[in-house]
Structure 1
């Protein structure tokens, strides 16, 4: 047995010795060397693009804000210059970048860049407080060629592509064209038509929320897009009625956006009630926005409430049709009353109170604030004609009561205190 084991050990040693060069050839360089070579190749590709790169950037793991055009130019010395369509077309910001090994070759913009870090700034003013747009500044390099660099956001997991900017086009001109194209898409509500079927659409940032029926239930799906010079290009295709649509191209003749085969059409909704119900609100009611008819009622109402709330007044009053509430802030406390909205024709809206609200809202109602709210909503419908100050993206709406033209209320979607004054 000992002899057999000795012979086996010798044979194994010879076999291992004989396979050494073959094993090295089979597996090549070490993983660290391969990553180092990949980073060197990626940097060479990044810095050799004559006019930099167009990055199609999607912040947020759910692509909640849509996509953005980010232009980037890299130097061998580790600097990156950035422009983007969230800033003025002429604006540029330069900072440092680095290629490093972090579970694969990684590109990071690792010193503060005023434009690029807007997407990851928790205090940007866009998105939830303390979170911002939740964008990436570190990306795993999936592949890199002179024609395309594919990245994956380390935080979001979003796939982000970069392609060379055309040499004959300035960055400022490109971003100006993007801005002009987006002005055409300055609606809040749309209709998406496919094979004769119509779907209601609401836009928020660069996303389209499309409502449709699935197995008898109403479902809303959100599709994120990036604005291009030609129209909208989607992160993931819109799939409805068994048809996939990856882009919608603006058709200047009809003022609509169409799929490449023309079968799907996106058109903006401009009826005043549609604009009022859209997420451009809430719509703030102000004392100065009321006709004298309403001002007299408000003065009487607030004087009556002074006994219950000495020294306090109405801070804010807003109609939020999308959320179906009347929102009040009185003496620094917020209260809500439930609201039902309906439309008739192309220019009329009716507002009705249900009799329900939260605890503070009911308290205010019992204290007498209803007398002021009755100007625009009651327990039976109050109907108004609606006139926007802009047919596409209004900031003010003039409501004139049907049957009582003395009652005129101008509301605004700009946050404005009620501003009562004697």
Structure 2
């Protein structure tokens, strides 16, 4: 080593040595890390409890946004209570549980005790979604930002962004959720045409999603857009970008019965198939199952009589919009998961997934599956659909394709199954 390099190294070593011997050092941050974390949690809590009428949470379960968004109302108290209401239950219903703020690389809001309303979205056997998974919703959220005007959360499991804004003090919770229910009742159709820049895209509604399929460069492309219902229309998680446009929100025009924004319209596409999927639930009765269906119904009732003596099948319904077959026995409801597929404008297929809630599986195993088999099985059962009125149907005649002996008439008027020997 030459002398010049040696002297340079000595100078550096001495410099570091002098720095290490300095009696005082200055921190770039005020307080300890523990102090800073505690302050962040306190500030987040101050914001949560600051909304006098609670928060409106735009909640999206499912990492794939399969079910769209839901309006959740949440009111937080200083002592760790949270009261919840939502548009998945009756507008008057509320449930109170506990919440907590904790540190995990930033403030995390967790709903750490069971809340019968909020935890429905994470319930593994809710009747929506696969058994063991349910809707796949979050109950722990990273607080991305918080102010008295807006809190932005991110689901720890799904990664979905959840926006919360204070609910107006002049609006009661029940009134707000009632307005959501009234607005959603207008979106009763299963198919729509999305019109933009002279183009039309046919979309299918499932839960709170719109699915559009079209051909691009010779290949079929499907895009799904999740939305949340608002009192005035539809608000999308990500904008609809079909036809060269970009639309984040559509408002309902009652005069024209369309949802629209500048240069864009979402128009109900009414066909026999869409009427079946959009209306309902559809009630089946023993007398209207036809001779073919009655054979299966008789077998079902014969088997179920052993499991449920002195009880009968009170109601049997098809709910395409909810994706379920419902059976009521002795006042208890059981659900089987159902897929409804549009074959063409006049034809639909019904398929059981093999999933259901615990009571639905119990009923099926007890023999009531036989009552379902004439209209839905594990392989698709395909029907021609004939409503009595395309605009305001009360009855629909279903005729199985390839089996004209299987004719079933269903109604959207609440009607008991009415089994009789």
User: TM-score by structure 1 length?
Assistant: 0.71
Partner of 1:288: 287
Q: 1:271 — aligned with what?
A: 271
Residue 227 of structure 1 is aligned with which of 223, 226, 229?
229
CA distance in 2 between partners of 1:84 and 1:281 (Å): 23
Aligned equivalent of 1:410: 409
Between the aligned partners of 1:171 and 1:412, the Cα distance in structure 2 is 34
Structure 2: segments with no counterpart, 5+ residues: 304-316, 321-340, 350-373, 375-381
- Which residue pairs with 2:16 in the alignment? 12
Pairwise CA RMSD: 4.2
Alpha-carbon spacing, 1:45–1:282, altered in 2? closer, same or farther (3 Å): closer
Render the CA deviation track for 1:75-118: whole Å, top value 9, x for unaligned.
11010111111111111111110000122210001011111111
Counterpart pick for 1:114 among 97, 116, 119: 116
Distance 1:227 1:140 in 2: 24
Question: For 2:198 and 2:46, how far apart are their aligned partners in 1?
Answer: 51
Partner Cα distance (1:15, 1:383) in 2: 85
**Structure-2 residue corresponding to 1:170:** 172
The structure-2 alpha-carbon separation of the partners of 1:3 and 1:247, relative to structure 1 and needing over 3 Å to count, comes to closer
* Contact persistence 1:61–1:158 (CA under 8 A): yes
Kept in 1: contact 2:87–2:180 (CA 8 A): yes
Q: Which residue of 2 aligns with 1:377?
A: none
- After TM superposition, give the deviation of residue 247 of structure 1 in Å: 0.5
C-alpha separation between the residues in 1 aligned to 2:152 and 2:342? Answer: 48
Rg bigger for which structure?
1
Q: Contact 1:209/1:221 (CA < 8 Å) preserved in 2?
A: yes
Partner of 1:151: 153
In structure 2, C-alpha distance between the alignment counterparts of 1:50 and 1:44, rounded to whole Å: 12
Q: Secondary structure at the match of 1:289?
A: helix
Question: In the alignment, is residue 74 of structure 1 matched against residue 76 of structure 2?
Answer: yes
Contact 1:119-1:133 within 8 A present in 2 as well: yes
Distance 1:341 1:54 in 2: 39
Q: CA deviation at 1:8?
A: 4.5
Report the counterpart of residue 243 of structure 2 in structure 1. 241
8 Å CA contact 1:231–1:247 kept in 2: the answer is: yes
Q: 1:419 to 1:171 in 2, by over 3 A?
A: closer
Asked whether the equivalents of residues 272 and 388 of structure 1 are also in contact (C-alpha less than 8 Å), the reply is no
Q: Is the contact made by 2:59 and 2:70 (CA closer than 8 Å) also made in structure 1?
A: yes
Contact 1:207 1:224 in 2 (8 A): yes
- Cα distance change on mapping 1:388 and 1:129 into 2, 3 Å: farther
Paired with 1:176 and 1:108, the residues of 2 have a C-alpha distance of: 28
Question: Residues 350 and 112 of structure 1: is their aligned pair in 2 closer, same or farther, counting only changes over 3 Å?
Answer: closer
Deviation at 1:211, TM superposition (A): 1.5
Kindly provide the CA deviation profile for residues 40-72 of structure 1, in whole angstroms up to 9, marking residues without a partner as x.
Answer: 100011111111111110001011110011111
Distance of 1:47 and 1:269 partners within structure 2: 45
Q: How does 1:317-356 map to 2 (within 5 A)?
A: none
Q: Contact (CA 8 Å) 1:349, 1:386: kept in 2 or not?
A: no
For 2:142 and 2:72, how far apart are their aligned partners in 1?
17
Quick one: distance in 2 between partners of 1:383 and 1:81?
46
Write the distance in 1 (CA, Å) between the matches of 2:22 and 2:409.
90
In terms of mean alpha carbon deviation, does 383-392 or 225-234 score higher?
Answer: 383-392
Write the distance in 1 (CA, Å) between the matches of 2:385 and 2:134.
38
Unaligned runs of 5+ in 1: 313-317, 322-338, 352-372, 374-381
Aligned position for 1:207: 209
CA spacing shift, 1:54–1:13, aligned 2, 3 Å = same
Q: Which residue of 1 aligns with 2:396?
A: 397
| SS of 2:38 mapped into structure 1 | helix
Q: How far apart are 1:128 and its partner, in Å?
A: 1.0
> In the TM superposition, what whole-angstrom CA distance separates every residue of 1:253-299 from its partner, at most 9, and x where no partner exists?
1010002x1x11111122224334x4879999876225xxx63x778
Deviation at 1:409, TM superposition (A): 3.9
2:189–2:278 CA contact under 8 A, matched in 1: no
Q: Is the 8 A contact 2:82 2:99 kept in 1?
A: yes
Aligned to 1:53: 55
> 1:406–1:48: structure 2 CA closer, same or farther, 3 Å change rule?
closer
